[in-house]
Structure 1
Amino acid sequence: MTVLFTIIMNMVNIQMSFAQSTNHLPKDKTWKLVWNDEFNGKELDTTKWGFRLHIMQTRHITWTDDAYKLDGKGSLLMKAYKNEGEYHTTQLQTGSNFMDRPGNQYGKTELTWPIANLKSPKFLHKYGYYEIRCKLPTQEGWWVAFWLQSPTIGSSLDPLASGVEIDIMENFKRNGTISQNIHWNGYGENHEHEGSGEMKMGLNDNEFHTYGVDWSPTGYVFYVDGKETWRISGPVSHTEQFILVSAECNGYREGAASPILKEAILPDYFEVDYVRVYDEVKI
């Protein structure tokens, strides 16, 4: 029993040491690493990640499961590329939203029956610090994001129970700006939103930066490179949520690729060094 206890404590200490060695963690709390992907090797860990291919009951014709690669040096390279006149990206997720599970085919907007089977999430979590270290794209015409989503967002008018979309980093333009946002009550007439607005921080500099959020029962505090950038007290989701690392080509939600995307030099890459999740350790 003593040996087992020692082994467990050593593992906890290693996790805490690893967490605290990252300078960009919020320094007002003590953290323990509870989930991570360092993207080592050359194959995506599909025990951690799945692919988002549908949006609001419709197959998104440009989201694929092949617009990425691992470089073998510890980075995930998510790309935008062109094939047979269409542009493609990949969206990775550790769970799924109940609205993104139809049984229909490309481009059809009607809901068919039966809809797709429910799938067990690969990782759901509640509260803690969520961080990505990444290098933003260089070409205009596509956008990338790191965010948290609830499997049941919009299923009720109680966002504390049904969840809140937490956008830790959204990068739409190549002018050095990002935004941080929360959305709740679904995506229809009841939809509500608060955000940081466009923050110009010189982040499209072809360097790695970290983006994180401390999600606690009292609110959300957002960070870039360890510095607080935005905070909001709620509404606070009190349900477990999943992680997305996503990329999307501009224009397709309106029916076709945007003209600016057609001028991009592709493939272009969104390079991710790691994704990590920490829990606060109460001392």
Structure 2
Amino acid sequence: MRTFPRTIAAAALATALLALAAHAPAGAASTAVDPATPAGVQPAAGPPGTLVFSDEFTGSALDTAKWKVRDQERTESDRTDGIRWWYKPANVRVIPDNGGNLAIDLRKLTTNQYAGGRVDTDGVFDYTHGTIEARIHVPPTEGHLGAVWLQAHSMGSELGTAADGAEIDLLESAYTDDRYAATIHYDGYGTDHKQSSQIVAAPSLHTTHYHTIGLNWAASKMEFTYDGTVVRAVTDTKLISQVKEYPILSHEVLDWAAGDVTTAPLDYQSTMYVDYVRVWQ
């Protein structure tokens, strides 16, 4: 579970154009769609749709007209092991080899201080209902985890449901074995907070590059998918957001992740890699 303040969008003109494209009618040209995405590509698991957003992470630098890169401390207020950690832009890079990949590294800053990274499309692209897929590799869990998630711009607490916004965690790789948490947080992060979580099996999660993490999101059903298979289905509408959500990719040093971050190798073996992100409606 995570929360943070919103930031002002950079590159106002590009932001406006991307936002317009993200909400354009089906079939309209979209500048949010990466030209490098294969024509006509459809979800690995989910209904066919119109591609409204994609990034194949080609080139040598992150497209900052699409993605915000966070720079903030994220140490938990109740953490007791003495570890502090941050999201740092220096840990976010694009690797041009093999068609391009986003890399989010794990680094030690100084004694008991570590940094992961995070990118998101807050203020640039959001959507309500559709299918999102991310092809990723998450490293072995040693006090840190890779995450793919959606976040609403607000999460009210007056409804007692997720209808007015939720944090939807498609994946949090918090375990040393091949499983992960698929979780929905709603009614804010205070005393009214509620969550619904399921631990799902994920064969070869840490050992094989790559795996496709997805969510088929409709008004009355959500399906969490792993490598083309539905691993969690949600039909209780009180758990389903009905408002706009934006995608997030992050590498975190959370205290409840299995293992010990102080023993992590802090090289390519501790890096989260993303081949692409695609959204259809």
TM > 0.5 between the two? yes
Give the Cα separation in 2 of the matches to 1:77 and 1:191.
32
Counterpart in the other structure of 2:80: none
Q: Which amino acid aligns with 1:93?
A: D
* Structure 1 residue 199: Cα displacement: 2.7
Task: Note closer, same or farther for the CA distance 1:46–1:190 as it changes in structure 2 (3 Å cut).
Answer: same
The gaps in structure 1 that reach 5 residues or longer are 1-7, 96-120
Q: Secondary structure at the match of 1:90?
A: strand
Does residue 65 in structure 1 map to residue 89 in structure 2?
yes
Q: Please tell me whether the aligned partners of residues 106 and 115 of structure 2 are also in contact (alpha carbons under 8 angstroms).
A: yes
Task: Note closer, same or farther for the CA distance 1:238–1:55 as it changes in structure 2 (3 Å cut).
Answer: farther
Does residue 224 in structure 1 map to residue 226 in structure 2?
yes
Q: Which has the larger radius of gyration?
A: 1
* Structure 1 residue 197: Cα displacement: 2.1
Counterpart in the other structure of 2:265: 265
Aligned residues: 237
Q: Please list the CA deviations of residues 209-229 of structure 1 after superposition, one character each: whole Å capped at 9, or x if unmatched.
A: 101010001121111111111
Task: Note closer, same or farther for the CA distance 1:159–1:124 as it changes in structure 2 (3 Å cut).
Answer: farther
Q: Please tell me whether the aligned partners of residues 148 and 165 of structure 1 are also in contact (alpha carbons under 8 angstroms).
A: yes
Q: Secondary structure at the match of 2:87?
A: coil
Q: Which amino acid aligns with 2:106?
A: A
Counterpart in the other structure of 1:115: none
Counterpart in the other structure of 1:247: 251
* Structure 1 residue 260: Cα displacement: 1.2
Counterpart in the other structure of 1:176: 178
* Structure 1 residue 231: Cα displacement: 0.6
Q: Please tell me whether the aligned partners of residues 143 and 249 of structure 1 are also in contact (alpha carbons under 8 angstroms).
A: yes
Give the alignment of 1:77-226 within 5 angstroms. 77-85=103-111, 86-95=113-122, 121-138=123-140, 140-154=142-156, 156-157=158-159, 159-226=161-228
Q: Secondary structure at the match of 1:162?
A: coil
Q: Please tell me whether the aligned partners of residues 138 and 269 of structure 1 are also in contact (alpha carbons under 8 angstroms).
A: no
Q: Which amino acid aligns with 2:277?
A: V
Give the Cα separation in 1 of the matches to 2:171 and 2:211.
11
Give the Cα separation in 1 of the matches to 2:76 and 2:253.
19
Q: Secondary structure at the match of 1:35?
A: strand
Give the Cα separation in 2 of the matches to 1:9 and 1:148.
24
Q: Please tell me whether the aligned partners of residues 138 and 206 of structure 1 are also in contact (alpha carbons under 8 angstroms).
A: no
Q: Please tell me whether the aligned partners of residues 94 and 124 of structure 1 are also in contact (alpha carbons under 8 angstroms).
A: yes
TM-score normalised by L of structure 2: 0.75
TM-score normalised by L of structure 1: 0.75
* Structure 1 residue 245: Cα displacement: 0.4
Does residue 18 in structure 1 map to residue 20 in structure 2?
no
The CA RMSD measured in Å over matched residues stands at 2.9
Task: Note closer, same or farther for the CA distance 1:71–1:56 as it changes in structure 2 (3 Å cut).
Answer: closer
Give the Cα separation in 1 of the matches to 2:259 and 2:118.
22
Give the Cα separation in 2 of the matches to 1:36 and 1:156.
34
Q: Please tell me whether the aligned partners of residues 157 and 188 of structure 2 are also in contact (alpha carbons under 8 angstroms).
A: yes
Deviates more, 1:209-218 or 1:49-58: 49-58
Q: Please list the CA deviations of residues 80-117 of structure 1 after superposition, one character each: whole Å capped at 9, or x if unmatched.
A: 0112222101111111xxxxxxxxxxxxxxxxxxxxxx
Q: Please tell me whether the aligned partners of residues 92 and 118 of structure 2 are also in contact (alpha carbons under 8 angstroms).
A: no
Q: Please tell me whether the aligned partners of residues 19 and 278 of structure 1 are also in contact (alpha carbons under 8 angstroms).
A: no
